[in-house]
Amino acid sequence: MGAMGRPAILSRERITAAGKQIVEREGPQALTLKRLGGELGVDASALYRHFRNKDELVSAIGDELLSGYVADPGDDVAWREGVTDICVQLRAASITQPVVVDIVRFGPPRQANELKLTEVLLRLLRRGGLDAQAAGDAYHALISLTLGSAAIDAQLDRLPRAERQKLYRGWRRQYATLPSEQYPTSVALAEHLWRGTAEDRFRGALEIMLDGLQAGISQRR
């Protein structure tokens, strides 16, 4: 209830802002309609006047969280640099705020910042010289790489750096001690696996992908 016992005035913006605060304070697992209604001083059923279901609400919250991470690099930035910056920012958002991943889980983007992200990436890819089909394929590959990397690294990212590096060393030892007659290549290359930080590996994978796109552009010219 609001002041003097009046019902709280709700809006999509007020609900989204309250949901964002819960997620930022306690993580996405803390976000329930009952909890959100309590924060706003209303019954949870009142939220359905503004959102059809929880998925729609989560999408709006995720999009609001995304707004602080993904920025348009502008036309003066080289296309590869712009793509790299956006993908690194999107990965960081997906790791620190896992609810961001939910906004792309159930289909194409419908929220303002999602649409902006798609528009900017496609524009950069076209500016780099990709034709329409290649730009579309590259967009999907970049999103899959970025969100896939975030999903793999999210749990480890919560550990202190020294503990992560200790885990990586342990994993390399495990590969190195595999039966060499069964896994000769894995044993031979064990020291090259899980090197550096998770972001280092992501940036390396992104560079490999962009090198391939660059080579394809050069061949078509």
**Residue 75, SS3 per DSSP:** coil
What are the DSSP calls for 144-183, one per residue? HHHHHHHHHHHHHHTS-HHHHHHHHHHHHHHHHTS-TTT-
Q: What is the pLDDT of residue 86?
A: 92
Q: Side chain identity at 116, as an amino acid letter?
A: K
Same domain, 23 and 89: no
Q: What is the pLDDT of residue 3?
A: 43
Q: At 89, which CATH number?
A: 1.10.357.10
Residue span of the structural domain in which 20 resides:
3-51
DSSP conformation class of 71: -
Same domain, 32 and 129: no
Q: What is the pLDDT along the chain (221 residues), one digit of tens a residue?
A: 444 444 557 898 899 889 888 887 887 778 888 999 998 989 988 998 898 888 788 878 877 777 777 778 888 899 999 999 999 998 988 887 766 665 555 555 567 888 888 999 999 999 999 999 999 999 999 999 998 999 888 888 888 999 999 999 999 999 999 999 999 999 999 999 999 999 999 999 999 999 999 888 877 66
Same domain, 90 and 141: yes
Q: How many domains does the chain have?
A: 2
Q: What is the pLDDT of residue 124?
A: 95
Q: What angle do CA 178, 184, 186 make, to 5 degrees?
A: 65
Same domain, 150 and 197: yes
